[in-house]
Chains A and B, each alone.
Chain A
Amino acid sequence: MSRLSRRRWTSRIAMILSMAATLFGLVILAAILWTLLSRGVAALSPNLFVLDTPPPGVAGGLANALYGSAVMTLLALAIAAPLGVMAGTALAEFSGRSRIAAAAGFLNDVLLSAPSIVIGLFVYTAMVVPMGHFSAWAGAMSLVVIALPVIVRTTQDMLQLVPGTLREAAMALGTPRWRAVVSVVWRAASNGLITGILLAYARVAGETAPLLFTALSNQYWTSDMNAPMASLPVVIFQFAMSPYDDWQRLAWAGALIITLTILVINIGARALGTSKHS
């Protein structure tokens, strides 16, 4: 075989392998979604949204877990979103090239990638132990710690995309700086900011590890934020590992709900992030 054709064959084989790798990634995604759909759809029923998590052998649903997840994630987002956007603004708008800001940005990235189980341990020692009991507040706080750095990072990145001329134009009109940031810079980057918040929501919606020993779980419906509260991921964890068939079915139904929600939010956030400013 000539040298040239050998080189061509090497290249061809390498490219076929890279195509195979891509195919493998897509097949895995399809396989996971297929498993969720085939096992989850069968378990879907209106009861899921009405009845609470049952003892084994009794008909039940996931109502308390869905409620707990919604309350804790939304509360976490309500706290983390304003803090995160303000912090990201400080890093992007009010820092220039300062070293302190660069360090804060780096530390934010460290917090962003802290293992979520460690965040759970932190909130357990800092909140559950002093309070003396597990609570939905503690669960929400652990989700705040996870969502906050995500929002800070995206806010900073998005604000840095806003052209400096817009800021200068606002200043030239005699606008106070805070006004320039709120009505000009934030507004120009609004799609990006919302994308960041949505992505943070998608991240906390599926978090299980930090809730295990902060919010714990609860077999019954409760709206008391000081009591342990069920959440979808923790219930999935408990039920999937159980030997009972009906519990496992509920776990698959919950898994389907949670994954579809997160994927829809992810795709929506992406669409929003790349669309032109309206």
Chain B
Amino acid sequence: MKTSDASDDIAADGPAVPGPEAVADRSPRRHQARTKFGDRLFILLSRGSASLVVVVLGGVLVTLALGALPAFREFGPAFVWADRWSPAKDIFSAAAPIYGTLVTSAIAMVIAVPLSFGIAIFLTELCPAPLRRPIGVAIELLAGIPSIIYGLWGFFVLAPLMQSFVQPALIGTLGNLPGIGLLFRGAPYGVGMLTAGVVLAIMALPFITAVTRDVFATVPAMLRESAYGVGMTTWEVVRYIVIPYCRIGLVGGIMLGLGRALGETMAVTFVIGNSHRIAASLMAPATTISASIANEFTEATTPLYTASLIALGLILSAITFIVLGLAKWMIQRSKLH
């Protein structure tokens, strides 16, 4: 604020030589007044637009909170952790959708993080220069494909593949192990949390890759060269120099991808199976917060039903805003040093 006021004054008092417009109306004083008015108006308009962004964000949170109020009033804070969803009896709670959201996003991260790191390592350390740009753009284009297309592809192409190959294989191998096996038992439905997680992984991949490449680029060339100079292999340079150097930025990139995955709607709605049940098996149909809203909102018949879905939306915003705030902060911090 301070600096801009100071420069306002410069603009208003500064011109000792009258500009072309002033010559036209032959009065430097009037020209100054007009300049000052024009600047004030322009700055006011632009600052007004900037505050509009803040107002909209505030509006989103306030309307959601107000809309969710009836649900919290009826069910209390237990709405968040109770596991009952019965539109017929007008009883709702959020545990199943929250569980589905967290589990699918976790699966997505387990798959997407190593892949994204691999791609970023390939692009920064191995890729021949002429190929770097086309491959980079191709990976970024994955981020441009609309989520409904991922949903279609996931439902018609990926889910059948999962059902006939991947899931039976997992059930046959990991499913027999004690403990962890519980996650891989049951029938291969095709749709379910695992398939949703795979689709989310593909969608989060370009975001994590982009941030990873950016922070890899902040490693000083000198560090890298010295490491190669003392005889480190490419992998050792990445493992012991590059990754430790941009640790915080990498975590930020992962969180950014996680934020995307948590809030994703349409792609998940196609492949999640829509069942308000918490099942141990990752292959079981489930639901997520966003999928519940997308599927049920227009069918919500009672005010309490609508309020409960809005309350789900509020919880989702809270989760994503926290994750993304942390991500931003970490990426910022890693770029500073």
Q: Is the CB of A35 within 8 A of B53?
A: no
**Interface residues in A35-82 (C-beta closer than 8 Å to B):** 35-36, 82
User: Which one of B39-47, B86-94, B182-190, B219-227 is at the A interface?
Assistant: B39-47
Q: Among B51, B145, B147, point to the contact of A32 (Cβ < 8 A).
A: B145
Q: Is the CB of A21 within 8 A of B39?
A: no
Contact with A along B116-133 (1 / 0, CB 8 A): 111101110111000000
Interface size of B as a range: 35 or more
Q: Is the CB of A212 within 8 A of B298?
A: yes
B238 contacts the other chain (CB 8 A): yes
Question: How far is it, in angstroms, between the C-alpha of A263 and the C-alpha of B8 when the chains are bound?
Answer: 43
**Interface residues in B29-80 (C-beta closer than 8 Å to A):** 35, 38-39, 41-43, 45-54, 56-57, 59-60, 63-64, 66-67
A126 contacts the other chain (CB 8 A): yes
Contact with A along B1-30 (1 / 0, CB 8 A): 111100110110011111100000000000
Point out the residues of chain B lying under 8 angstroms from A117, CB to CB.
263, 265, 290, 293-294, 313, 316
Q: Which residue of B lies closest to A113 (CB)?
A: B324
Question: How far is it, in angstroms, between the C-alpha of A237 and the C-alpha of B145 when the chains are bound?
Answer: 15
Q: Among A11, A106, A205, A233, point to the contact of B236 (Cβ < 8 A).
A: A11
Q: Is the CB of B19 within 8 A of A173?
A: yes
**Interface residues in A128-165 (C-beta closer than 8 Å to B):** 145, 148-149, 152
B275 contacts the other chain (CB 8 A): no
Q: Is the CB of A125 within 8 A of B63?
A: yes
Q: Among B54, B146, B151, B313, point to the contact of A262 (Cβ < 8 A).
A: B146
A272 contacts the other chain (CB 8 A): no
Q: Among A21, A171, A241, point to the contact of B119 (Cβ < 8 A).
A: A21
Q: Is the CB of B122 within 8 A of A18?
A: yes
Report the count of interface residues on A (CB-CB < 8 A). 93
Q: Is the CB of A107 within 8 A of B3?
A: no
Question: How far is it, in angstroms, between the C-alpha of A252 and the C-alpha of B123 when the chains are bound?
Answer: 33
User: Which one of A87-95, A188-196, A218-226 is at the B interface?
Assistant: A87-95
Point out the residues of chain B lying under 8 angstroms from A86, CB to CB.
45-46, 48-50
B163 contacts the other chain (CB 8 A): no
A11, A32, A108, A176 interface centre (most CB from chain B within 10 Å): A176
Q: Among A36, A177, A251, point to the contact of B39 (Cβ < 8 A).
A: A177
A17 contacts the other chain (CB 8 A): yes
Q: Is the CB of A25 within 8 A of B142?
A: yes
Point out the residues of chain B lying under 8 angstroms from A111, CB to CB.
53, 56-57, 60
Q: Is the CB of A236 within 8 A of B4?
A: no
**B278 to chain A: closest CB distance in Å?**
21
Q: Among A100, A174, A255, point to the contact of B152 (Cβ < 8 A).
A: A255
Q: Is the CB of B321 within 8 A of A19?
A: no
**Interface residues in B284-337 (C-beta closer than 8 Å to A):** 290, 293-294, 297-298, 309-310, 313, 316-317, 320-321, 324-325, 328
Question: How far is it, in angstroms, between the C-alpha of A125 and the C-alpha of B63 when the chains are bound?
Answer: 7
Q: Is the CB of B47 within 8 A of A28?
A: no
Q: Which residue of A lies closest to B11 (CB)?
A: A177
**Interface residues in A1-48 (C-beta closer than 8 Å to B):** 7-8, 10-11, 14-15, 17-22, 24-26, 28-29, 31-32, 35-36
Majority SS at the chain B contact face:
helix
Q: Which residue of B lies closest to A149 (CB)?
A: B53
Contact with B along A222-250 (1 / 0, CB 8 A): 00000000000100110011000000000
A166 contacts the other chain (CB 8 A): no
Q: Which residue of A lies closest to B115 (CB)?
A: A21
Q: Is the CB of B1 within 8 A of A98?
A: yes
A110 contacts the other chain (CB 8 A): yes
Q: Among B53, B66, B266, point to the contact of A107 (Cβ < 8 A).
A: B53
Using A109-B324, A174-B17, A175-B19 as known contacts, say yes or no to A152 and B122 having CB atoms under 8 A apart.
no
Point out the residues of chain A lying under 8 angstroms from B46, CB to CB.
86-87, 89-90, 93-94
Q: Is the CB of B1 within 8 A of A96?
A: yes
Question: How far is it, in angstroms, between the C-alpha of A152 and the C-alpha of B52 when the chains are bound?
Answer: 11
Question: How far is it, in angstroms, between the C-alpha of A18 and the C-alpha of B123 when the chains are bound?
Answer: 9
Those 8 A-B pairs whose CB atoms lie nearest each other, nearest first? A206-B146, A115-B263, A21-B118, A96-B3, A174-B15, A178-B42, A11-B233, A11-B235
Q: Taking beta carbons and an 8 Å cutoff, which residues of A are in contact with B?
A: 7-8, 10-11, 14-15, 17-22, 24-26, 28-29, 31-32, 35-36, 82-84, 86-87, 89-91, 93-98, 100-101, 104, 106-111, 113-119, 121-122, 124-126, 145, 148-149, 152, 171, 173-179, 181, 202, 205-209, 212-213, 216, 233, 236-237, 240-241, 251-252, 255, 258-259, 262-263, 266-267, 270
Q: Can you report 22 A-B residue pairs in the complex whose CB atoms are below 8 A from each other?
A: A15-B121, A21-B122, A22-B118, A22-B122, A25-B119, A32-B153, A83-B52, A90-B50, A94-B43, A96-B2, A98-B2, A113-B260, A117-B290, A122-B63, A174-B17, A178-B43, A206-B149, A209-B147, A212-B297, A241-B270, A258-B149, A267-B141
